[in-house]
Amino acid sequence: MKPDTLKSLFDKQRRHRWVTKTSTAAQRAELLTRLKAAIRANVDEICAALNEDLLRTRRAAMVEVAPVLADIDDAVANLDRWMAPTEYAPIPALGNAATAVRYEPRGVCLLFGPWNFPFALVFQPLVAIVAAGNTAIVKPNEMAPATSAVAARIITAVFAEEHVAVVEGGVDLAERLLDLPVDHIFFTGSPAVARKVMARAAEHLASVTLELGGKCPAIINADADVDIAATHIAAGKHQNAGQICLAPDHVWVHRDVRDEFVKKYRAAVENRYYVDGALAAERLGKLVDRRNFDRVSGYVDDAVARGAEMISIGDSDPQRRILAPTLLLNVATDAAVMRHEIFGPVLPVLDFTEMSTVTDWLQDNDKPLAMYVFGRDRQAIENVLAATSSGGVSINGWALHFADSRLPFGGIGASGMGRYHGVHGFRELSHARSVASVGTAE
C-alpha cells in the first residue's frame, strides 16, 4: 500500500470518527451482529486457514472463534448500560452542580494482530474498539497469511473502510502505519516490539494497549494435588504447540513432589498428544516458522550444555516444524531458556524447598502476564501473591482468570499495560470524560 493511500485512508477515518462518536448503542450493536453473522458464515474457511498456518484441528480452531462470538454477544447485550453516563450525587462544594462521567471513543485506533492466535486476537480487540465507537485500521499478522486473508475478507464485507479498514503486509507496512497520528494503538505481541510501538506512539502522544506475555511461572507446593497440577500444566503448556502468552513457561516444584510431578506430567502429555505411542502432530500443532523452531531448539541445547537433563517425549520433525514435548530438569537459572520467553513445548522444571527461593527469583525478574499456583494451604498461597506481581493469577488451574470474561485481562510492566474483555475492553477503548454542569434547564 502506497504512503499516499494510507494517508488518505487515515484522513477518511479521522473525519468519520465524529460520526461513530455519536452512534447509538443500537447502531453499534447492529454492526457487531453483522460481524457475528459474517464470522459464522466463514467458520469453515477460518478453520482451514488456522490449520494451514498453525496445524490446528477444527476443534482447536474453534477455541479462537467461540470467544469472539461470546464477546460480541456480551457487547450487544450490555452496550446500553456500558454507554450510559456514570452520574454522581451533588457535593456541598459545588452547590447544585450535576456531575457525571461520559464514556466517549478515543478516535482512530490502530490494531496490530499477532501470529499465534491470528483470528481471536484480531477480532476480540476489534469488538471492544467498535463497541466503544472508534474507527480502526487493522493489520492482521503476515506470519499467519491464510488467517490474515480470511480476516481481511470478513472485515471488508462488514465495515465501510472509513469505519474499519484492513491492510495486509509485513514489517515495512507496520512502520508506515506507525507514522500515522492515530489516537490509540492496540498491540499484541512481544515486549521487544512493544517497546518500539510505544516509542512511536509517543511521537503523537497516542495512548496504547499492549498485550504481551513473559515467563509465566507455575508453582507447585508440597501439599498440591499433583494430578491436577500435571494435567493443567500439560494442557496449558502444549496448546498451540506452546505458542500462547498464557502458557506455563516454567514450573517450580517442591522437592518432595518433583519426581511425582515429572511422572504424572509425562503421562498427561502422552495421554493427550500421542496415539498408539506416536506423537499426533495435529493435536500439538507446529511452530510458526523454522526460525522459531531453531530458536526454541537452541534454548534446549544451551540448557543441556549447562548441565540440564533433557527428557524428550517423542521425536521432533524439523522439516514440518514439529517439536516434541520436552522436559528440562536441573536447569541453571542463567540459561537462555530461563532468560527468554520460550513460546514452545519445552518445560523447565526447577525444584525448591523454601518458597523464598521462588519469590526472590520472581521479584528479580520481569512481571509475567500470569501465574499459576497449586496447593491446598490458602495462607501459603496468599503469601506467594503478596510477595509477587503478575497480570493475573489462577489457583489450582490453568488460565481460569482468562476464561471469565467479567475479569479484566492484561499484563503489568514487561507483560503489558491496559485491560480488556467485556466492560473492561469498552472502557479501555473509551475516554472517560468528566462533565460538571450548573445553571442548565431540562
Q: Which residues are catalytic?
A: 211, 245
Quick one: CA dihedral 430, 431, 436, 442, positive or negative? negative
What residues contact residue 38 under an 8 Å CB cut-off, 6+ apart? 154, 157, 158
Q: Which residues pair with 87 in a beta bridge?
A: 100
Beta strand ranges found along 212-299 (DSSP E): 217-220, 250-254, 274-275, 278-279
Q: Which residue has the cell 511461572?
A: 217
What residues contact residue 357 under an 8 Å CB cut-off, 6+ apart? 252
Q: How far apart are CA 379 and CA 363, in angstroms?
A: 19
Strand ranges across the sheet with 346-352:
309-312, 326-329, 346-352, 250-254, 217-220, 370-374, 392-395
Q: What DSSP element (H or E) covers 187?
A: strand 184-188
Exposed, middle or buried, 122 (CB in 10 Å: 0-12/13-18/19+)? buried
Grid coordinates belonging to 9: 485512508
Grid coordinates belonging to 320: 514440518
Q: How far apart are CA 116 and CA 286, in angstroms?
A: 11
Strand ranges across the sheet with 184-188:
164-166, 135-139, 108-112, 184-188, 207-211, 416-417
Grid coordinates belonging to 30: 447492529
What residues contact residue 20 under an 8 Å CB cut-off, 6+ apart? 105, 133, 134, 135, 163
What is the CB neighbour count within 10 angstroms for residue 351?
Answer: 18
What's the first-to-final CA gap in the chain, in angstroms? Answer: 51
* CA-to-CA dists, residue 240 to 3, 63, 243, 354, 434, angstroms: 36, 11, 5, 33, 43
3-state SS, residue 104: strand
Q: What DSSP element (H or E) covers 45?
A: helix 43-54
Q: Which residue has the cell 457535593?
A: 91
